[in-house]
Every structure is written in C-alpha cells, then in structure tokens.
Amino acid sequence: MPPPQSTFTIYDFAASWFFPWRFMIASTTFLPGTLASAVLAGDWRTLLSWNRLQSAWFGRFWGWAGPLVRTSAEENVVPLLEGRVTGGRIVERSAAHARGVGGTVLEIGPGSGNWVSIFSDRYLSSTGSSTSTSGSLSNPNPDAAAAPGSRGKVTRVFGVEPNAGVHAELRAKIVAAGLEDVYEIVPVGIQDLAPSGRVLLESADCIVTVMCLCSIPDPQLNIKELYGYLKPGGRWFVYEHVKCSHSQSWVVGAYQGFMNLIWPPFIGGCELRRDTGKWIKEAGPWSDVDLTAPHGQPWFHVLPHVIGILTK
Ligand SMILES: C[S@@+](CC[C@H](N)C(=O)[O-])C[C@H]1O[C@@H](n2cnc3c(N)ncnc32)[C@H](O)[C@@H]1O
C-alpha cells in the first residue's frame, strides 16, 4: 500500500528530482564499453550510425538497469498483469471485475524480459492463479473464461522487440520460464509489425505495454496501429510513464520539460513528455477504460505513471 501523501519527506522529493540524473550517469558508464566492443569487433556500422550505437548502448545499460527497474516496478506491474488493478489501486484477487493477462499476448518492447516469467504456467502454479477448465490446451480461447481475479493461461506471446542487443537476455528469460514453444521474439519495431506479417490484426487477447511507449517512434500513430491488433473484447494492460498532469505543479512540469531536453539520448530515445494515457484512450472505441495514475503517486514525481486496463 503506497504511503498517504502527507508522509512524503524532503528526501522523497529530492530522490525523485535527482533520479533522472542518477539514471543518466549510470547509463553513461556503459558507453565506453559499448564503443570498445564495437571497435574490437570492427563493427563500423554501429560506430557510424547513431541509431545502432544508441541501441547497443541501451541494450548494455538495460542489462544492468532492467532488474533494478523490475524490483521497483513489480509492486505495480505484477498485480496489473494479474488483473488486480482498478482506479489506480491494487485490489484483492477476489475482485469480481478483474481478469489477468492470458490467451494470445502481444508484449511490446519486452527489453531483456523483465516480465516474461509472469506469462509462464509455472507462475500460475506458484501463485495459485487458477485457469480451472479454461486453462486446458483444447480450449480455443482460454483467456475468455479465465476465473475472475486470476492470471489466465497464456497460449502464445509475440514479443515485439527491435533491439537485437537485448535478444540474448530475453531469450534466456524465455528458456528459464519454460516458454520456448509459447514466446516468439518478433525482432522489429511496432512500426514494422504490419509489414512483417508476423501478427494478424484483431488476433490478440491482450496487449502488454510496460515502460516502452516512451521509446517508440510516432507514438500516436503507432498506438492506433496497436489497437488494431486487439480482438473485440481484448484487453490492453498499461504501465507507462507520462508527461506531468495538470494536477501537478507547473514547476514539476517545467523541470520535466527541461530534463526531457537531455534525457532521451542517454536512455535509448525514451521521452518524458508523452501523453501516452490520453493517446491510448483515443486510439479507438473502448467498452471499458480503467487507466489512471497509481494511487498515492506523489505530486512532485518527475516520472509520473499511468496504470490500468482498457477493454476493446
Ligand atoms: C525502457 S525499455 C522497457 C523494457 C521492458 N518493457 C521492461 O519493462 O523492462 C523500452 C523497450 O522498448 C523497446 N522499443 C524501442 N522502440 C521500440 C519500437 N519501435 N517498437 C517496440 N519496442 C520498442 C526498446 O528496445 C526497449 O527494450
């Protein structure tokens, strides 16, 4: 349970405002190694292309940062994928409205595979999440009948990840989760998903976007494209950092705007000032929209998030 607003201290404030600097400094320490390994490998294509170099640099950095980010984000992301988040609050498994991720899943920007283990059947047995009869492989749409509040059986995952620098680690997480026959890496950006022909429109029971829509090109256009991959009744699980809201002080917004001038090249092209929540809501007609700021998010947060589930 997040602390009530009144318990925030000056330390919390300072930590939040200093966080982008710490992250950028940490990222910078991975640049020399990235350059050195490209030089030693005679990889001139990486050395002469900013996009390639940035991807290789980010891949190395995320190998270190990813697990730390998982530690701080899992208190939100795990309940989200279990369908236990509503109105920005984490609720009990028994909540009648909640259904976790299941069926055919499109995971966008999985990176080094921070959340892959949650798609595994082993996760179902270790948490007691129930698929009941709906979990049987013979059921054509196991997600549709998943028990309320549980994570449904995941039958197929397409991990849309263009950065080849993280594929080895992502593959290792897939193997560790026993998902070799279920999880397929699609090595393109979402802007190239349609031409790749790897995923059909209206074929996904669930889309999962966790801290990745900050990094994609043409976000409004590509978010609309993604909407087209969801089946009617399909659900989009969102945990993304976004631009400061109007309820935050203009000073926080100004600071976020300043940081956004410096931040993107250090963090793989990530942008701080995207109105991702609004763009997802506007991507197409939804039968249910449950997307808002996490409960208890401090007003001074420089990387405020939105969390929730939208149903097509
Ligand atoms: C900050 S990382 C987050 C990774 C992971 N979702 C996590 O929570 O640890 C953002 C990811 O988005 C990926 N990404 C960047 N551009 C993309 C695009 N056009 N399509 C899909 N993924 C993209 C990056 O390669 C990176 O792995």
Ligand 1 atom closest to the Cα of residue 163 is: 25
Mean per-residue pLDDT, 178-192? 97
How far, in Å, from the CA of 192 to the mean position of ligand 1?
Answer: 14
Fold of 73-311: Rossmann fold (3.40.50)
Ligand 1 probe mutation, 112, 212, 305, most atoms within 8 A of CB = 212
Ligand 1 atom closest to the Cα of residue 222 is: 19
Give the model's pLDDT for residue 127. Answer: 66
Minimum CA distance residue for ligand 1 atom 11: 109
Give pLDDT tens digits for 26-64.
Answer: 999 999 999 999 999 999 999 999 999 999 999 999 999
How far, in Å, from the CA of 215 to the mean position of ligand 1?
Answer: 6
The average confidence (pLDDT) of the chain is 89
Give the model's pLDDT for residue 180. Answer: 97
Give the model's pLDDT for residue 145. Answer: 39
Q: Kindly give the pairing relationship between strand 288-292 and strand 305-311.
A: antiparallel
Give the model's pLDDT for residue 147. Answer: 42
Ligand 1 probe mutation, 115, 190, 215, most atoms within 8 A of CB = 215
Mean per-residue pLDDT, 210-229? 98
What are the residue ranges spanned by the domains of the chain? 73-311
Ligand 1 lining (C-beta closer than 6 Å): 66, 69, 108-111, 114, 160-163, 166, 189-191, 210-212, 215-217, 268, 270
Give pLDDT tens digits for 83-130.
Answer: 999 999 998 864 555 689 999 999 999 999 999 999 998 877 666 554
CA–CA separation, 306 vs 209, rounded Å? 11
Minimum CA distance residue for ligand 1 atom 13: 109
Which residues lie closer than 8 Å to 238 by C-beta, 6 or more apart? 80, 209, 276, 277, 280, 291, 306, 307, 308, 309, 310
Give the model's pLDDT for residue 133. Answer: 30
Mean per-residue pLDDT, 228-248? 95
Q: With residue 189 as reference, give the H or E element that holds it.
A: none
The first and second tokens of residue 133, run together, are 């009869």
Give me the percent of the chain exceeding a pLDDT of 70.
Answer: 88
Give me the percent of the chain exceeding a pLDDT of 90.
Answer: 79
Question: Residue 136 — pLDDT band, cuts 50, 70, 90?
Answer: very low
Question: Residue 139 — pLDDT band, cuts 50, 70, 90?
Answer: very low
Which residues lie closer than 8 Å to 273 by C-beta, 6 or more apart? 243, 256, 257, 260
Minimum CA distance residue for ligand 1 atom 23: 109
Ligand 1 atom closest to the Cα of residue 107 is: 6
Flag the least confident range among 62-71, 136-145, 221-230, 243-252.
136-145
Cβ contact 115:109 at 8 Å? no
Output 163 or 130, whichever has higher pLDDT. Answer: 163
